[in-house]
Every structure is written in structure tokens, then in C-alpha cells.
Amino acid sequence: MRMRELKLALTLAVLGSLTLAARAAEDYVEPPIDLSGWKIERFRYDTDKTPKVVKAEIKMTNTGKAAMSDLKSRLIFLQATGEVVKETQWQFVMNLGPGEGKVFNYREGLVPAFEGYELELTCKLDGKERKWIWRSPDPAELPQLKSTRPIPGVSRLVILGRESVRNNQTGQVRVFCRVKNEGEKPAERAQLNLEFLDDKGKVLATHEQPIGEGGTVAGGKELTLNFNVPKAVPSYHAMRVKLSAAKLSDEESLSGGKFSGAEEVEVAEVSFKRPTPKELAVAAKIRNGLKKPVDNPTIVWVFTEKDKEVKRVAGQVPGRFEPGEIKAIALTIPDCPSFGSFSYEVEYQEAKETTFQPVTAEVADGKAGVTRVELSKGPDGTLRFKASVRSRAPHEVTGVTILFKLLGGADGRTVVGQCAGGLDKLAPGAGATVEAELVKPPKFATYTYHTTYNEPTPPKKP
């Protein structure tokens, strides 16, 4: 019995000869940065007479354990549609050590009207070039981290831009808003929440409406919303936009994982759902990365909570599992407690190839037939038959054909494949070799063979 093991957990000890940690994202690195102290001011003219000046500052604190070097940042001012209207100069800081914080100051003139902004930062961290972008649709608010690709294992709704126009005669408000799910998982029960405020921050009116398809925004999906608020809205000073969605459970956030491509029997694309509070539905795929088939692999799932095992259950994948084959698996686990991490062990036996000993036979006097059959299998799986034939007929025989049939199926006697080889002719007393092969043969239990040939027509009696 061989065992291969893969752990998909935040912190788990090595249980066997192969352990691979599941990470929330292979290529994505969360920035070890805390943003605070955001301030922004707009001036019609600065002291040096420069028009349309924007001054801003923000404090960045390194929350990680490694220093960031060659750090630089800039602000990008945006319209509600996401169009760039102006960029600041880069602000430089050579290094930012662990726990260290510094204030970045920005000043830019001739800035057109804008609705939002982005904060772009680049640095060297652990010897690699890193780049992160934060975005806010409101110039007065701290920006949110913007992902360049869907973040695995989560859903994250963000506002990319928003704008509103009120009809002073009717009180009707038209809203334009761009929303994106920057996570990999769908955001369910997604909703847009609007608040219309006076100049003191008092809420004058509200509006809520579901967004997406049936209230669901797919992972990586961006929406452009353009609608009228159904009810009249009093004159307001500002519009606040909020997004809400169903929270992804800790167990669901553990879903994911990709095949490594290693020469192992491995599991990936794992997902968890709770049909009922006590039941756990597991779906995944299993891959045979070995160069040999395996029979009836068993997956032992181990669930832990705070480093303590809370559930262990095994599920078998019945049948033969060919090299490179991928199968979908599903398992429902009753009475499964909540868990914060999981691992699995794959137990299997390498399938033993069926070997066939050479078959020998006698040829009757006056006949032609097979005296020996050898069966072999090539590296690519091709079956090769090699038959020795001999003629004991008193005359030449022609059209010698040997038909090989593979038998298998549920009863072991069904013909599941066949191939043939032959000779044009065979002289009296002569022997020869006949070969036949079958590429990509099906599964079979045994085989049979049958020899046919043509004899000369005997002369008519006088």
C-alpha cells in the first residue's frame, strides 16, 4: 500500500511523505501596509497662483516582518466612469522598515473635476518587485485595495465609480455606478445601498436594490449600473454608496486548489457546502499523476479546528484509475462539526498488470495452425501478438489469417476488441511468424484466437 498526502490548511503539520500547503492565492500577495490619516484639499489657486490645485497626504505603515525598499507612490484622479483625468508626481521613500510609518504628501496643479482616485504603490519586498493599487470612488474616504485578478477563495464587492444627478423640479435622482466583484467566488444576495446626506451628514433619504443576476455577482464580474431612484429625493449635499453581500463562511473560503502536475495521486478543486447545519457536502477532483494505473484509491479526509481533529472520514473511488485520468468525486458527511482547516491522505495500490504466459498447441496431421502465441504490451500500451504457425498439410495453403479476440466486460466473455494478422501462403511443412497489434486496447480479462486458410480445390474424379 502506498500513500500520498496533501494538506490544504493554514497551519498543519506534515503527516506523510508528500504535503502541499493550500494558499489563498498562488500569485497574489496581500500588501503588508496599513493606510491612515488621509487628508485632501482642493484650492482654486495655490499661493504661487497655480490654479485647480489638489493637496493630499496619507500615512503608510509597514505591518510586515520584512523591510520594503525603493518605495514610491502616486495619486491618480478619476472620473466616475474610471477615466484618468490627472496623475501626481511619484513620491519617494528609500526604505520602510517593519513597524515603521511615514506620511506621503502630494501636490498637483491643473486638476480637472474628479469623482474618485487611486493610490498606486511600488516597492521591493523579499527581493521581488511588488505593485499594489488602492481605489476610492469618494475623494474624502480612504481607498480600498484593488486586485488585478480575482482573489481566490473569497468574494469582494468594490465601488469603482459613482455619480448622481437630481432633477430639481421633480426630485428624481438618476444614479450611475460601477461595481466589481474582485473575488473569485460569487457574491450572493448582493445589494446596493444609497444614502442621501445633507451638509451636516444627516441621512435625508435611502434606497436599496439587488444587483447582478438574481442578486448574484459572479467572481471577477464588473457591473455598470444606470437607474432612476423610484421615489423623489429631497435636495441633498452628498450621496453615500455602500455594498453588501452574504458572508462567505470560513469553510467555504477553504475551497479551491489546483493540481500540481507531480507524479502523484492528488486531489484539487475542492469545495465545501452545508446542505444542513450538520451535513457537509464535499466536491473535488482526483488525478492519477503516476505512469501506472491504480485500483480503488481511497481519500481519507481529516478536519481540524484550532489544531484539534474534529472529524475523520474515508471515501473510496471505485475501479481502475488510468495514468493521467481525472475523476470528479462527491461525498456527503453527516454530523460534521465546523472546522477551520482540513487535510487529506490518498491511499492506493498500484494496479498489477495482467500477464499472459505463452500458449502452445499441436497442429493435427494434414492441417495448418498455430503452435505458439506470445502476448506483450509496449510502453505506450499497445498490445502485440506474436504467433508461430506451421503447416502439416500435403499442399500449399493460402490466405492464412489469425484473428485475436479480447474478452472482457461484466461476464468476462464479451468481445471487447480484436485484431488480426496473416500470411499470403504457407508451403507444406513450412513454418512462419504472424504478428498483430492493437493500439489503445480496452480492458480485458483474456483472449482467444482462431486460424483460417484456403486449401487448393481437389481434382475431379474421372
- CATH number of the domain residue 226 falls in: 2.60.40.3230
Each residue's pLDDT tens digit, 287-341? 999 888 888 899 999 998 878 889 999 988 888 888 899 999 999 999 888 887 8
For residue 87, pLDDT beyond 50: yes
Q: How many Å apart are CA 187 and CA 268, to the nearest integer? A: 22
Residue 459 falls inside a structural domain: no
* CATH, residue 286: 2.60.40
Q: Pick 81 or 3 by higher pLDDT.
A: 81
66-70, 144-148, 236-240: which is most confident: 66-70
Residue 461 falls inside a structural domain: no
| Inter-residue contact 236 to 166 (CB < 8 Å) | yes
In this prediction the pTM is 0.42
Burial degree of 271 (CB within 10 A; 0-12, 13-18, 19+): middle
Together in a domain, 303 and 382: no
Together in a domain, 219 and 268: no
- Report the DSSP beta bridge partners of residue 346: 4, 299
Residue 194 falls inside a structural domain: yes
Q: How many Å apart are CA 203 and CA 201, to the nearest integer? A: 6
- Span 213-242, average pLDDT: 91
The residue among 246, 250, 266 whose CA lies nearest residue 258 is 266
Cell numbers describing residue 44: 482654486
Together in a domain, 35 and 140: yes
Residue 460 falls inside a structural domain: no
pLDDT tier, 7 (very low <50, low <70, confident <90, very high otherwise) = very low
Q: 457: Cβ–Cβ under 8 A, 6 or more apart, which residues?
A: none
Together in a domain, 74 and 174: no
Residue 200 falls inside a structural domain: yes
pLDDT tier, 28 (very low <50, low <70, confident <90, very high otherwise) = low
Each residue's pLDDT tens digit, 202-223? 999 999 999 999 889 998 899 9
Grid-cell match 500435403, residue found: 394
For residue 372, pLDDT beyond 90: yes
Q: What is the pLDDT of residue 247?
A: 65
Together in a domain, 324 and 420: no
Q: What is the pLDDT of residue 171?
A: 94
Q: What is the pLDDT of residue 253?
A: 67
Together in a domain, 390 and 411: yes
| Inter-residue contact 301 to 312 (CB < 8 Å) | yes
Together in a domain, 275 and 324: yes
Q: Pick 13 or 213 by higher pLDDT.
A: 213
Phi, psi of 252 (to 5 degrees): -65, -30
Residue 462 falls inside a structural domain: no
Q: What is the pLDDT of residue 13?
A: 26
Phi, psi of 57 (to 5 degrees): -145, 155
For residue 36, CA distances in Å to 59, 104, 143, 258, 348 come to 5, 11, 10, 36, 54
Residue 159 falls inside a structural domain: yes
Each residue's pLDDT tens digit, 334-370? 988 888 788 888 888 776 666 778 888 898 999 999 9
pLDDT tier, 145 (very low <50, low <70, confident <90, very high otherwise) = confident
Q: What is the pLDDT of residue 223?
A: 93
For residue 79, pLDDT beyond 50: yes
Q: How many Å apart are CA 224 and CA 186, to the nearest integer? A: 17
Segment (H or E) for 309: strand 308-316
The SS3 of residue 461 is coil
Domain boundary pick from 146, 170, 203: 146
Q: What is the pLDDT of residue 352?
A: 64
Together in a domain, 33 and 135: yes
Q: How many Å apart are CA 96 and CA 77, to the nearest integer? A: 25
Report CA 222 to chain centroid distance, whole Å.
Answer: 20
Q: How many Å apart are CA 195 and CA 207, to the nearest integer? A: 7
Sheet arrangement for strand 265-273: 265-273, 280-288, 326-333
The residue among 357, 285, 363, 279 whose CA lies nearest residue 313 is 279
Together in a domain, 136 and 101: yes
Together in a domain, 123 and 168: no
Residue 450 falls inside a structural domain: yes
Q: 72: Cβ–Cβ under 8 A, 6 or more apart, which residues?
A: 90, 91, 92, 93, 121, 122, 123
- Span 427-450, average pLDDT: 91
Percent of the chain with pLDDT over 70: 89
Percent of the chain with pLDDT over 90: 46
Q: How many Å apart are CA 55 and CA 103, to the nearest integer? A: 13
Domain boundary pick from 131, 146, 161: 146
Together in a domain, 136 and 176: no
For residue 1, pLDDT beyond 80: no
Q: Pick 168 or 305 by higher pLDDT.
A: 168
For residue 21, pLDDT beyond 50: no
| Inter-residue contact 139 to 40 (CB < 8 Å) | yes
Q: How many Å apart are CA 283 and CA 311, to the nearest integer? A: 17
Together in a domain, 79 and 136: yes
Phi, psi of 254 (to 5 degrees): -80, -10
Segment (H or E) for 255: none
The residue among 408, 421, 426, 427 whose CA lies nearest residue 451 is 421
| Inter-residue contact 16 to 3 (CB < 8 Å) | yes
The average confidence (pLDDT) of the chain is 84
Cell numbers describing residue 174: 438618476
Look up the domain containing 123 and give its range: 23-146
Length, in residues, of the chain = 462
Q: Are strands 359-360 and 203-210 parallel, antiparallel or unpaired?
A: unpaired
Q: How many Å apart are CA 20 and CA 236, to the nearest integer? A: 55
Q: 335: Cβ–Cβ under 8 A, 6 or more apart, which residues?
A: 278, 279
* CATH, residue 433: 2.60.40.10
For residue 10, pLDDT beyond 70: no
Total domain count, the chain:
4
Side chain identity, residue 268: A
Domain boundary pick from 251, 273, 288: 251
Q: What is the pLDDT of residue 23?
A: 33
